[in-house]
């Protein structure tokens, strides 16, 4: 239980933008599923048909819940789960940004809401990319373990530090010709 609380604290402090976007996805997605004709934003209602509004809401809701689950759980599988959540959130936030851009004839008025959702989309894409890099570090460390160069792998969110340690280890173990 204490470990789960530590993971939640870690998520709220070090991954606050990801958690924020996940909560926004839950808060915006749930009403869009319940009553797409009344509770979805005007820009979404006027841009998309009802089935697409429900799909948009499901994308945000599922993306938010899965992302938070992946952050709290913290394992290799949870990394992939969080990646799935971030992909759903990226799609949902991008659809909303698209709807905002096409909703108003005066783009200046819709920019107030459009710019944050573009940034939300970029946060989702960046987190997805970082999780992919972290998975690559895990795979690299696993290959070193199978070759007998490492005893165990304990990678949390210190991707750069672990990668540099593994690179130094590779430099020490492999002759210069083999690295090229």
Predicted confidence (pLDDT) per residue in 66-98, tens digit: 999 988 887 788 889 999 999 999 999 999 988
Q: Give the pLDDT band (50/70/90) at residue 16.
A: confident
Is position 143 within any domain?
no
Is position 99 within any domain?
yes
More confident residue, 171 or 62: 62
Q: What is the mean pLDDT of residues 167-177?
A: 60
pTM: 0.73
Is position 157 within any domain?
no
Which domain range does residue 128 map to? Answer: 2-134
- Residues of the chain above pLDDT 90, percent: 31
From the number of C-beta atoms within 10 Å of its C-beta (0-12, 13-18, 19+), residue 156 rates as exposed
Structure-token pair, residue 71:
């952050």
CB-based burial, 10-49: b 16+ in 10 Å, e otherwise: ebeeebeebbebbebbbebbbebbeebeeebbebbbebbe
Is position 14 within any domain?
yes
Does residue 142 surpass a pLDDT of 80? Answer: no
Number of structural domains in the chain? 1
Is position 61 within any domain?
yes
Structure-token pair, residue 26:
């839950």
Most confident of 74-83, 137-146, 162-171: 74-83
Is position 150 within any domain?
no
Model pLDDT, residue 149: 67
Is position 70 within any domain?
yes
């Amino acid at each position: 239980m204490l470990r789960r609380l530590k993971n939640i604290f870690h998520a709220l402090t070090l991954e606050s933008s990801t958690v924020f976007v996940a909560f926004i996805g839950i808060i915006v997605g749930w009403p869009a599923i319940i009553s797409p004709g009344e509770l979805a934003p005007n820009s979404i209602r006027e841009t998309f048909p009802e089935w697409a509004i429900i799909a948009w809401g499901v994308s945000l809701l599922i993306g938010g819940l899965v992302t938070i689950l992946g952050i709290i759980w913290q394992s290799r599988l949870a990394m992939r789960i969080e990646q799935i959540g971030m992909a759903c959130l990226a799609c949902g936030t991008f659809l909303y940004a698209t709807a905002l851009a096409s909703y108003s004839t005066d783009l200046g008025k819709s920019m107030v809401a459009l710019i944050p959702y573009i940034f939300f989309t970029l946060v989702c894409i960046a987190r997805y990319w970082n999780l992919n890099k972290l998975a690559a570090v895990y795979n690299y460390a696993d290959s070193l373990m199978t070759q007998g160069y490492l005893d165990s792998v304990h990678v949390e969110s210190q991707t750069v530090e672990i990668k540099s340690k593994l690179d130094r280890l590779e430099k020490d173990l492999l002759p210069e010709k083999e690295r090229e």
